[in-house]
Amino acid sequence: MPSEFLVRTVTGLEDLTAAEITEAGHRVVDVTKRQLVVEAAGPVVTRLADDLFAVRASVPDPGRTRDGLRQAVARLTARVAHGGPISVTASFTGSRNFSRFDVEDAVGARLGEPYFSRRHGTPPPPGTTDLRVTLDGKAMWLGVRPHPAPLHRRAWRRATVVGSLHPPVAAAMARLAGIRPGHVVFDPCCGAGTLLIEARIQVPGARYHGTDIDPAAIRAARINDPGIAWRTEAVEPDRILANPPWGVRLPADAVPSAGWPEAGRLVAILGEGQRLDRRWTTVGEHALTVAGRHPRIVVALIGK
Ligand SMILES: C[S@@+](CC[C@H](N)C(=O)[O-])C[C@H]1O[C@@H](n2cnc3c(N)ncnc32)[C@H](O)[C@@H]1O
């Protein structure tokens, strides 16, 4: 029987993450805001997901009321045996008459030996198993992460700059770029290198060039991946991947792409109010919510 997983992702990347997981041979059985339910054919490897949890139990979503929550938690936890110290992280969609901490404490009180609440911001001690509970409007799920760290935390990331991109978003952009072995790929404002590093993991056989106006960014990119040609321009790239500053050091309505070369395809993440210069025709857009901001990924080609 296939094992069931909850795959958590960035708001706006649900469909792209589902496509990545389906292509890998798994079955995506449901997609809701920030979450996929996946029947896995084997180990689930994903670069677009934020995190992944093996499902331990599920019951129908209890809806808004505290009474419904209490009954649902009783049913949910009755199906799970857990020994040892736990903490619980909960999230839900829609408006409810209870908080995420109410969900966490209700589950923790039934399963913890002992239970460490996150209600007052105290981190649980090392060795604690963090259980994940989500309410997606259809079901209440209980899962456990099958690996020690969240998936979005990358082993390669040892240095960052202001505005460093969330790695799963960079991975999604690399996927949208359609990079093939032999392509020349250019990032004109590479920061600490997230876009090209994630792209190179997906397509090691392409050639990657990145540059940045800030020498500290180049230093950070070299620390993160010494194997990429940092501080080099690509004159006629096949693909451009770009994450210009989102109005932090540029006026929000500036056209960041004006000085970039032309390419077979451009994938940029733009802040609210930012646009590309007139050479580019947008062929795809993906609106995201990430860290409380609302950028969009734009896929563009040269010409009409
Ligand atoms: C949002 S950050 C890029 C972050 C990067 N994607 C990462 O994950 O670390 C934008 C970068 O653009 C660079 N930048 C700003 N103006 C630039 C320009 N005119 N030419 C090249 N780089 C520029 C900044 O120094 C900054 O590192």
Residue 228's SS3 state is: coil
In a domain, 244, yes or no: yes
| Ligand 1 atom 5 nearest Cα | 191
246 Cα nearest atom in ligand 1: 1
Same domain for 7 and 140, yes or no, is: yes
pTM of the model: 0.94
Choice between 148 and 263, residue whose per-residue pLDDT is larger: 263
Contacts of 284 (CB under 8 A, 6+ apart): 176, 297, 298, 299
- CB-based pocket (< 6 A), ligand 1: 161, 163-165, 188-189, 191-192, 194-195, 212-214, 217, 243-245
Segment 192-245, tens digit of pLDDT: 999 999 999 999 999 999 999 999 999 999 999 999 999 988 889 999 999 999
In a domain, 212, yes or no: yes
163 Cα nearest atom in ligand 1: 1
> How far, in Å, from the CA of 26 to the mean position of ligand 1?
36
In a domain, 162, yes or no: no
Same domain for 123 and 179, yes or no, is: no
Same domain for 130 and 173, yes or no, is: no
* Domain termination residue (choose one: 144, 175, 196): 144
Segment 53-107, tens digit of pLDDT: 999 999 999 999 999 999 999 999 998 887 789 999 999 999 999 999 999 999 9
| Ligand 1 atom 19 nearest Cα | 213
CATH classification of the domain holding 45: 3.30.2130.30
Determine the residue type at 228. I
Same domain for 258 and 173, yes or no, is: yes
Segment 147-177, tens digit of pLDDT: 889 999 999 999 999 999 999 999 999 999 9
Same domain for 128 and 183, yes or no, is: no
Same domain for 207 and 296, yes or no, is: yes
| CA 34, chain centre distance (Å) | 9
Q: How far apart are the first and last CA of the chain?
A: 50
Statement: residue 252 has pLDDT above 80: no
* Domain termination residue (choose one: 144, 176, 191): 144
In a domain, 102, yes or no: yes
Q: What are phi and psi of 222, to 5 degrees?
A: -65, -35
In a domain, 117, yes or no: yes
> How far, in Å, from the CA of 211 to the mean position of ligand 1?
8
Same domain for 16 and 123, yes or no, is: yes
Contacts of 97 (CB under 8 A, 6+ apart): 64, 65, 66
Whether residue 51 contacts residue 145, with contact meaning beta carbons closer than 8 Å, is answered with yes
> DSSP secondary structure string, 138-204?
SEEEEEE-SSSS-TTS-TT-----TTPPPHHHHHHHHHHHT--TT-EEEETT-TTSHHHHHHHHH-T
Range of the domain at 294: 167-302
Q: Are strands 51-60 and 3-8 parallel, antiparallel or unpaired?
A: antiparallel
What are the distances in angstroms from CA 125 to CA 35, 152, 216? 28, 22, 35
Same domain for 139 and 186, yes or no, is: no
Into how many domains does the chain fold?
2
Distance CA 36, CA 136 (A): 10
CATH classification of the domain holding 221: 3.40.50.150
Q: Which residue has the tokens 């096949």?
A: 238
Statement: residue 127 has pLDDT above 60: yes
In a domain, 46, yes or no: yes
Same domain for 89 and 52, yes or no, is: yes
* Mean pLDDT, range 262-290, rounded to an integer: 95
Whether residue 243 contacts residue 195, with contact meaning beta carbons closer than 8 Å, is answered with yes
In a domain, 295, yes or no: yes
191 Cα nearest atom in ligand 1: 27
Distance CA 80, CA 71 (A): 15
H or E segment to which residue 86 belongs: strand 86-92
Whether residue 281 contacts residue 304, with contact meaning beta carbons closer than 8 Å, is answered with yes
Same domain for 59 and 10, yes or no, is: yes
Structure tokens that stand for 69 in this block:
């929550």
In a domain, 152, yes or no: no
Distance CA 114, CA 118 (A): 13
> How far, in Å, from the CA of 189 to the mean position of ligand 1?
4
Same domain for 77 and 184, yes or no, is: no
Same domain for 130 and 185, yes or no, is: no
- From the CA atom positions of the chain, what is the Rg in Å? 21
Nearest residue to 150 via CA among 8, 300, 297: 8
